[in-house]
Structure 1
Amino acid sequence: MIARLRKFFSDLGERFWVLPALMVLCGILGAVGVVHLDRSGVVPEWLIAGPWLYNGGATGARTLLGAVASSTIGVAGTVFSITIAALSLAAGQMGPRLLRNFTRDRGNQFTLGTFLGTFSFSLMVLRSVRTPSEGEFVPHLSLTISIVLAFVSVGTLVFFVGHMAGRINVDTVIELVSLEVRSGIARLTTDHPQPAVPDPSIWNGADIVSDARQGYLQQLEGDGLADWAAKHRTAIRLLVRPGDYVFPGAAIAVMIPLVDGAEAAIRDATALGAQRVSSADLEFALRQLVEVAVRALSPGINDPHTAMSVLDRLGAALCELEGRHLGSGVFLRQDRPVLVVPRITYDGLCDGMFNLIRQNAAGSVAVLIRILEVLVSAAGVETVAERLDTLQRHAALVLDDATRSVANPDDLDDLRQRHHAFMSMRRHGPAGPAVAQA
């Protein structure tokens, strides 16, 4: 149940319409409240007769409110039509999966909410205006607020143009996704050592638990499922982790011994969806960055500088992983493993970061050199031998690909020098590049 609630609130936070809808509701309720103040006579006559509040008649009030309402809704439609066209071009260059970063952007949502909220406020005030033949009533305070909201809408329009111009810039998009990667690293890693993964032999003879649902595993309430397993004196090994696709009727877990209600317990502790999300899936945010680089390396775009910018962010992510432990996926109760979830490994993260870029950068000397430079920087801060072995494996893969795809001997020498710098970094630490140059 907790996993489903997390999924619900996560989905709600990414919906484009939520903030605009709340601002429309605030506009309607605010108009009702301010009109009530106008009717109650709280606003003194000397203030109405002064220069700060609207002091015209009912006909002018209706014209003014109609102009504000029609102009704001018209501008909202025009601006967001242009935005959709700009996003279509951005999706073609950077990938359609990055469009969710535009739709959940609070600046875009606030802009639409401002226009629609002003429209709603003006429309609600307009319905309360009465001419002398109808029993004259002019809500002076409400009209003044409507004028102020119109000027706020003008300022919001200026903000939105600059905001969108920055958001469709590829470097800005890369930085936004890299911030998501950093947030995922801080959230999904820990400074403390994790429990060791139990020997696979303990699952010999385990019973299979299948699931009739299908979709990506978006949320997992591991502690709740571990408590359930400990209470029923069983052990569960999930076969999928957040980000994996669950196939209908396929095995989702094995458990020993089998306990009644296991399928319901797993169903309550997991939430599936039609797409991957980054809240519990570090690989997803990394794949968004990689997709930008791979598209930049395609023959139709051919933008190696964008790929190099992505590699810089990937290197920064590897440096931030130094000293932090990836979750082992083992949940202990009374020092006994009761739940084991497939874990994401450092080796798997590096494969996801570099394999696709390296494979699509064959022949692009600048990008291959940048991969090696990033690996040198990551090796300079990393101290775990297994992780250094992973970085060395990727450095060797880059050199092997370059040997086959780079024809120019001078370019190949540059790549070999970068690889030599990596090996010197591995042997001598941060002083390694200077040793390599010597």
Structure 2
Amino acid sequence: MLNFLRKGRPHELLIRIRSSFWFVPALIVIFAILLAFSLIELDQIYDDRLLARWPRLLANEAEGARGVLSAIAGSMATVAGVVFSITIVALSLTSSQYTSRVLRNFMRDRANQVVLGVFVGVWIYCLVVMRTISDDDEWKFVPSLAVLTAVILAIIASGFLIFFIHHISSTIQASEITASITRDTLRAVDRLFPDEIRNGSEMPEAHELQAGQRWYPILADAMGYIQGINAGSVLAFACERNTVVRMESKVGEFIAPGRPFASVAMEHPPDASTCRDLNRVVAVGIYRTIEQDPAFGIRQLVDIALKALSPSINDTTTAVSCIEHIAVILTRCAQRSMVSLRSYEGDTLRVIARRPDFAELVSLSFSQILESAEGNTEVLLRMLLALEQIAYGTCARQRLATLRLHVRQIEQAALRGLKADEALQRIRDSVKRTDAVLDLSESTKMLDCAPVSRP
């Protein structure tokens, strides 16, 4: 952990902590230990007065208190093992039924982490309290308040067990998995593309180098996926060296040592310290994360759809659900400006950061699914309906052209794969309806672009 802090990669550290299965349980265990010591101290100070006021609740013999704490500790340890086993089984089933890429969603699930932490925390609490019980003739001490709290915690933990069984049975359902991925992806889209598109064109501005400058590549010193880029640190780096940084790789792309991931505009080749400092502001890991990478959320939904359309599973309903959720994400993207992010120092351009392109996201969403669904009428119809829904959200000419291209591809796939006249006619009717919506959206193209209203 300290290694990440020294490297100046707090984003990567935050991702690892959030997705780890131990961090929240560790905090709960620490809280349980502090609670145990606090209640023991209160018992030592106020024991006589508390016993006199609530004798029925707090009166305990040393042997009876040990028995209660032993029973609670033993049952909590057993239940914690059961919870861990159920979680592992759920992870295995999810990986085989859907895709291994959604496992990190379960690892990041706060409910699973809290439930495991509660049972382990109550177990540790009982052990800490039990060791303070003494029935020696010279010094007798029974922490009555702490023992009563242990009973209350055991009752609360029983409620957590019921909640966990309900929660885990819900989270392994396809609808819940796709909805969870969609929510995370929409939050990433809102963070990455906060601005609404205001006109029908998104052509990035070209940057002209100053006299004597040229682009020099910065080579990566790590292997893995780009999980995040610290925009503030990149801007500070560019200002300090009076240069322009152009990111050649997007968040979510795989890089390897020796591969250029960025370029700097300088008069002379960058030295080793320059390359090292720029590498430090890029978080690289062995897996993709969704915080700055909405394409990864779409990738997960596509993988679930492909698994559902495989001959071994053949689950059209799940594939249709994935397409419906992809349509929600792309509709949000269609309304947002997705040009390359540019950061300035005053009026001076300092950073050019690549971001996902709308055409790339649409292709990622539909191309592979289309290859696996040529003969599936329901999936093809749902894809056309998704394109129609996305078309209502934009009037940008380039984006509408992208949607038209995929309508034509779906139409061609239907002609190749469908044999029944009724199915072909349904596809033709849907294509006409989608084309009409695209025409309507393009006809409303104005300087201040806004989504069209459904007729």
1:373 equivalent in structure 2: 385
Partner of 2:355: 343
Deviations 1:79-99 (A, max 9, x none): 321231132112111111111
Aligned residues of 2:203 and 2:339 also touching (Cα < 8 A)? no
Question: For the Cα contact (< 8 Å) 1:232–1:259, is it kept in 2?
Answer: no
**Two-structure CA RMSD over aligned residues (Å):** 2.4
Matches within 5 A, 1:137-152: 137-152=141-156
Counterpart CA distance in 1 for 2:441 and 2:254 is 41
* CA distance in structure 1 between the aligned counterparts of 2:322 and 2:54, rounded to whole angstroms: 61
Q: CA deviation at 1:224?
A: 2.6
Q: Give percent identity, aligned residues only.
A: 29
| Residue matched to 2:447 | none
User: Judging changes above 3 Å, is the alpha-carbon distance between structure 1 residues 47 and 153 closer, same or farther for their aligned structure 2 residues?
Assistant: farther
8 Å CA contact 1:213–1:248 kept in 2: the answer is yes
With 364-373 and 75-84 compared, the bigger mean Cα shift is at: 75-84
Residue 415 to residue 331, structure 1, CA distance change in 2 (3 Å): same
Q: Would you say 1:27 and 2:39 are equivalent positions?
A: no
Specify the SS of the correspondent of 1:325.
Answer: coil
**1:232 aligned to 2:241?**
yes
Equivalent residue of 1:338, what SS?
strand
3-state secondary structure, aligned to 2:36: helix
CA contact (8 A) 1:225 1:265 kept: no
**Structure 2 matches for 1:64-213, cutoff 5 A?**
64-133=68-137, 135-191=139-195, 197-199=204-206, 205-213=214-222
Q: 1:357 aligns with which of 350, 359, 369?
A: 369
Alignment correspondent of 1:250: 259
Of the three residues 399, 421, 425, the one matched with 1:387 is: 399
Paired with 2:132 and 2:38, the residues of 1 have a C-alpha distance of 12
Distance in 2, Cα, partners of 1:126 & 1:307: 54
Q: Deviation of residue 48 (structure 1)?
A: 5.8
**C-alpha deviations, 1:318-347, integer Å up to 9, x for none?**
222343212413323343433222221110
Deviation at 1:305, TM superposition (A): 0.6
**Which of residues 309, 316, 319 is equivalent to 1:307?**
319
- Counterpart position of 2:453: none
Q: Does 1:324 align with 2:336?
A: yes
Q: Identify the range of structure 1 (220-229 vs 83-92) with the bigger mean alpha-carbon deviation.
A: 220-229
How many residue pairs are counted as aligned between the two chains? 431
Q: Secondary structure at the match of 2:55?
A: coil
Shift of residue 196, structure 1, vs aligned partner: 5.9
- Residues 1:47 and 1:214: Cα distance change in structure 2 (over 3 Å): same
Give the letter aligned to residue 396 of structure 1.
R
Whether the 8 Å contact between 1:76 and 1:115 is mirrored in structure 2 is: yes
The answer for the alignment partner of 2:65 in structure 1 is 61
The answer to whether the 8 Å contact 2:385/2:430 transfers is yes
Q: Runs (4+) of structure 1 moved beyond 4 Å?
A: 45-49, 192-196, 200-205, 429-432
Instruction: Give the letter for the 1:44 counterpart.
Output: R
Give 1:370 deviation, angstroms: 0.5
In the TM superposition, residue 315 of structure 1 has moved relative to its aligned partner by 1.2
Residues 266 and 429 from structure 1, CA distance in 2 versus in 1: closer, same or farther, beyond 3 angstroms? closer
Distance 1:152 1:14 in 2: 26
Q: Deviations over 1:13-55 (max 9, x none)?
A: 111111111111111111111111111235515546533x231
Cα separation, partners in 2 of 1:293 and 1:259, compared to 1, 3 Å: same
Q: Given the superposition, is the C-alpha separation of residues 45 and 189 from structure 1 closer, same or farther in structure 2, using an over 3 Å criterion?
A: closer
Q: Using the alignment, how far apart are the partners of 2:296 and 2:66 within structure 1?
A: 52
TM-score, normalised via structure 1 length: 0.92
- Stretches of structure 2 that go unaligned for 5 or more consecutive residues are 445-455
Q: How big is the shift at 1:234?
A: 2.2
Paired letter, 1:147? V
- What is the rounded CA distance, in whole Å, between the counterparts of 2:197 and 2:179 in structure 1? 30
**Structure 1 residues 45 and 187, CA, compared in 2 at 3 Å: closer, same or farther?**
closer
Change in CA separation of 1:55 and 1:95 when aligned onto 2, cut-off 3 Å: same
- Code of the residue aligned with 2:337 in structure 1: it is H
Q: Name the amino acid aligned to 2:386.
A: V
Distance 1:406 1:274 in 2: 41
Which is further off, 383-392 or 196-205?
196-205
Question: What amino acid maps onto 1:217 in structure 2?
Answer: I
Instruction: Tell me, yes or no, if structure 1 residue 12 matches structure 2 residue 17.
Output: yes
Residue of structure 2 aligned with 1:428, choices 416, 420, 440: 440
CA change 1:17–1:327 in 2 (3 A) is: farther
Note if contact 1:380-1:430 (Cα within 8 Å) is conserved in structure 2. Answer: no
Contact 2:394 2:441 in 1 (8 A): no
* Aligned-residue offset at 1:356: 1.4
Q: Secondary structure at the match of 1:276?
A: coil
Pair 196,228 (structure 1): closer, same or farther in 2 beyond 3 Å: farther
State the distance in 1 between where 2:25 and 2:355 align: 39
Which residue identity lines up with residue 397 of structure 2 in the other structure?
A
How big is each residue's C-alpha offset from its partner over 1:68-119, in whole Å with a ceiling of 9 and x where there is no partner? 0001101110232123113211211111111111111111111111111111
Aligned to 2:134, the other structure's residue is in SS state: coil
